[in-house]
Every structure is written in C-alpha cells, then in structure tokens.
Amino acid sequence: METYKYSKGPALMARAEKVIPKGIYGHLGATYLIPNEAYPLFSERTQGAYFWDVDGNKFLDYMCGFGPNILGYNDPDVDAAVMEQMKKENCSTKPTEKLIELAELMVDTVDMADWAMFCKNGGDVTSLALLIARAATGRRKVILVKGSYHGVSPWMQSPGPGHGGIGPEDLTDNIYVDWNNADQVEQAIRDNPGQIACFMSTPYWHPVSVDNQMPADGYWQKIRNLCTSNGIVLTIDDVRCGFRMDAAGSDKYFGFKADLMCFCKSLANGWTISALCGADALKDAAKSVFYTGSYWLAAVPFAAATACISKIKRVNAVQHMKGIGEKFTKGLVEVAKSHGHKLVASGHPSMFFIRHVMEDQQTALPFHRAFIAECVKRGVYLTSFHNMFTCYAMTDKDVEFSLAVADEAYRELAKNFKVN
Ligand SMILES: Cc1ncc(COP(=O)(O)O)c(C=O)c1O
C-alpha cells in the first residue's frame, strides 16, 4: 500500500501562517498531531464517511469533524432541507417558523426538555446554562469536573501554556472535583453553603489523552439527589455525546434527569447550530437573561437540524454508530494482539478512545502516535490524543478496510519503529 504524500497542504500552511496566527488555530490546528508530517492539513471535499485533502488523498474520517458529522458528510436529506430553505431565506430581520418547528422537535425528542433555545457553538450554550443557573439561584459558583472541556470562554479555560490571556481571576467562581467522585461534590457543597448555582459535567468523562470513563453505578443518582436537595442546577454538557448514545439525551441513557442540557455537534450534521434544553422550573430564569448573536436565529441551520434529528430517529443512527464502533474497536484489539501488542478502547463505542499499553509506558505513547500516523498515511484518519467518532455513513466494509490498514501499520512499525 502506497503511503500518502503531502505537498499542497504544507504550501497552503506556509501561505496561511503569513496572514493567520498559527495558520490553523484551535482544535483543528496541528498542536496535538504528532508527528505533524503524517497528517493532512487542508481538506478539499467530503462525501459520506470520507474527506479528500488538497493533495487528493482520500481519508476514512474517524474524527467526523470532531463530532458534527453524524449522518455522513453531504447527507442528502439534510442538504435537501438546506437547499429548500435557502431558496426562501436564511438570515433576516425576523425568525421563521423553522425556529419553532425545531424547538418542538427538541421538546418531543429530548426526554427532559420542556423548552429549547438556540445559539451557534457548544461554548455558547454551556455559558448560557451557567447564566440561567445563576439567574435561577441568585448564586455564583459552579462545580466542574477536572479535565473536562466546555468551550473557550475564559471561565472554561485553565491558565497555562497555550491559554494566553487567561488568569486565575477568570476562574474565581469555579470549584473542581474529580470525575466519579460524589463525595467531593458533597464536600464542595458543604464548604460553600448557599453559594453553588450549578454542577456542570459531561455525561461520562471524555478528556484528552487518557482512558475515557463511564459513570460508576449510582453516581448520577447521587449527584441528582445532591443537586435537588441543595437547590443546585444540574447541567449536562451533551455537546459531544448528544444524539450519539441516545437521541432522548445522555441523561436518559444513564437513568437520571438533568435540569439543563447542552447540545451542539451532532445537531445539524455540520450546519451551524447549538441548543440548550431546559425543564419548566427554569423557564422564567431563561426568560430573564439577555443572550443573542447576529446569526443565531438564521433559518437554514434550523431546517438542517430538523432534518438531521428526524433522520437520526428514523434510521436509528444511534444503533448503527454503536455497531460500527464496536466492530472497529473489537477488531482493532484483535489485530493488535495478533502482532503482540495490547490496545485498549474506552468510552462509548460510537465515541471511542484508544491507546496502546506497554510494560514500558515511556515507549507506549511514541508507539501509539507512530501507529496512528501509519494509519493516517494509508487513508484511515485517526488521532492519538482525542476520542474518535463513528457516523451513520460508515459501513462494515469501511471497518474491514480500517482493520487491514491497522494490520499493515503494525507490520511497518515492526520493521521501522525506533524509540528516540
Ligand atoms: C463536551 C464539550 N463541550 C463544549 C464544547 C465546546 O463546543 P464549541 O467548540 O462548539 O464551542 C466541546 C467541543 O469540543 C465539547 O466537546
């Protein structure tokens, strides 16, 4: 199998760096893509489960745009709804009926939802959730889980390298606890009586670079009870997991009911929209906040989201994505074993994280990065630091192709991998 070459990509990067700080900034940038030269830099077109880079290389995309690609790139049903709405209008002085249609669909689909509001990015709705929690409780503080990501507003970041402009004063209202540790949450509530507005967390723990962790038995029920008995707003950040584990919400999947739920990535198959869903008890607080943006009530993304959610439910995309993720991760563990390696997969199968385990952990990370790089250079786009995603457009044939590539990647490493 020929490995991919990149020439136009690096040339575009040089051009970009002249006029854009870092060339590509944020999560689509190259900071974590090690070794850099194994990865494509710019994409040119997409279809289904695939993207093609500017050098014409074709990739089976297990990053799915970091989540928005849920049905398959250029999904015909979503794009037809988009084209139909585009002929009428997009961004005007008044919202269209599409706004209400989508809110009704969210309320029908998401188990805990009595109402919905819409923004553009995940960070817009996690910030909105905190604002509403503060308005509802008259309190300031928020309990967050260490290592979790909720977006880029200063209060969601941590000061340090790569986080310019953020200082400790941005985080004065934050209290951090470990994942799966209800005792720490209880202690934080005791230490800050009558001051905590919100407990915000993803439904399970999916930080970068470490095994993802499911909630322990009874964890969410304990957190639910603590929040209820202390008047704290329980907010689930379902920006990444939403519609990938259960279309009715990840709180439903884990058997509890959140007060606020944040959605984004999979809502509209890549069209720009995020959503906050809430319980009736918080409707007045939601009415009391001022929150808006130039494009937030534009009609096309509402049409896209309505078509996307309807199709996810109609075709049972959740089940399909889980099946593909299970086949791929189980297959990968077997292929690794056949080459004498141990690979572990964690997280929900449709949002899996993988890593290699070795006696010498110093070697495990460079080996893992080298393995991923060999897969990428052969057309299976994975990353070594982040969880990956499956989408509805992926097929069993795609999984077979991926496993054949993994097999070849191990052969290549057996010949050439050296620890520096
Ligand atoms: C769990 C979670 N919350 C919030 C965000 C922020 O979303 P956005 O980048 O759209 O602001 C992300 C983005 O990756 C996320 O994964």
pLDDT tens digit sequence for 121-170: 999 999 999 999 999 999 999 999 999 999 999 999 988 888 999 999 99
Q: Is 238 close to ligand 1, i.e. is its CB under 6 Å away?
A: no
Question: Is residue 239 lining ligand 1, measured as CB closer than 6 Å?
Answer: yes
Q: CA 221 to CA 205: how far, in whole Å?
A: 16
Answer yes or no: is the C-beta of 272 below 6 A from any ligand 1 atom. no
Determine the atom of ligand 1 nearest the C-alpha atom of 264.
10
| 171: pLDDT strictly greater than 70 | yes
Q: Is the dihedral of CA 43, 47, 48, 52 positive or negative?
A: negative
Q: Where are the domains of the chain?
A: 8-61+317-416, 76-315
261 token code pair: 């739920």
Q: Note the pLDDT tens digit of each residue in 278-303.
A: 999 999 999 999 999 999 999 999 99
The dihedrals phi and psi of 83, each to the nearest 5 degrees, come to -65, -40
CATH fold, domain 76-315, is Aspartate Aminotransferase; domain 2 (3.40.640)
Give me ligand 1 centre to Cα 201, in Å. Answer: 12
What pLDDT was estimated at residue 420?
Answer: 55
Task: Using the mean position of ligand 1's atoms as its centre, give its distance from the Cα of residue 135 in Å.
Answer: 23
Per the CATH hierarchy, to which homologous superfamily does domain 8-61+317-416 belong?
Aspartate Aminotransferase, domain 1 (3.90.1150.10)
Instruction: Tell me if 149 CB under 6 Å of ligand 1.
Output: yes
Which pLDDT band, with edges at 50, 70 and 90, does 44 fall under? very high
For residue 185, which of 143, 151, 214, 213 has the smallest C-alpha distance?
A: 143
If you measure from the C-alpha of residue 410 to the centroid of ligand 1, how many angstroms do you get, rounded to a whole number?
33
Long-range CB contact pairs, 213-220, < 8 A, 24+: 213/179, 213/180, 213/346, 214/347, 214/348, 215/180, 215/254, 216/180, 219/180, 219/182, 220/251, 220/254, 220/255, 220/256
Q: Angle at the Cα of 60 (from 57 to 61), degrees rounded to 5?
A: 105
The verdict on the CB of residue 299 being under 6 Å from ligand 1 is: no
Pocket test for ligand 1, best of 148, 265, 387 (most atoms within 8 A of CB): 265
pLDDT score for 360: 86
Beta strand 274-278 with 260-263 is: antiparallel
Is residue 380 scored above 70 in pLDDT? yes
Instruction: Report yes or no: 15 and 419 within 8 Å, Cβ to Cβ.
Output: no
Neighbour tally for 17: CB within 10 Å: 12
Report d(CA 256, CA 13) in Å as an integer: 46
Q: Could you tell me if the CB of 151 is within 6 A of ligand 1?
A: yes
CB of 103 closer than 6 angstroms to any ligand 1 atom: no
Ligand 1 centroid–CA 72 distance in Å is 20
Question: CA-based diameter of the chain, in Å?
Answer: 65
DSSP state of 16: H
Residue ranges in 138-282 assigned as alpha helix (H)? 182-191, 219-229, 250-253
Average pLDDT, integer, range 22-36: 88
- One DSSP character per residue, 130-173 reads HHHHHHHHS--EEEEETT----SSGGGS-SSTT-TT--GGGGTT
The answer to whether residue 1 scores a pLDDT higher than 90 is no
**Ligand 1: does its nearest atom lie under 6 Å from the Cβ of 121?**
yes
119 C-beta closer than 6 A to ligand 1 = no
Confirm or reject: Cβ of 207 under 6 Å from ligand 1: no
State the pLDDT at residue 368: 97
For ligand 1, is residue 256 a contact (CB within 6 Å)? no
Per-residue pLDDT, 158: 86
pLDDT, tens digit (0-9, with 9 covering 90-100), for 175-199 = 999 999 999 999 999 999 999 999 9
CA 419 to centroid of ligand 1, rounded, Å:
34
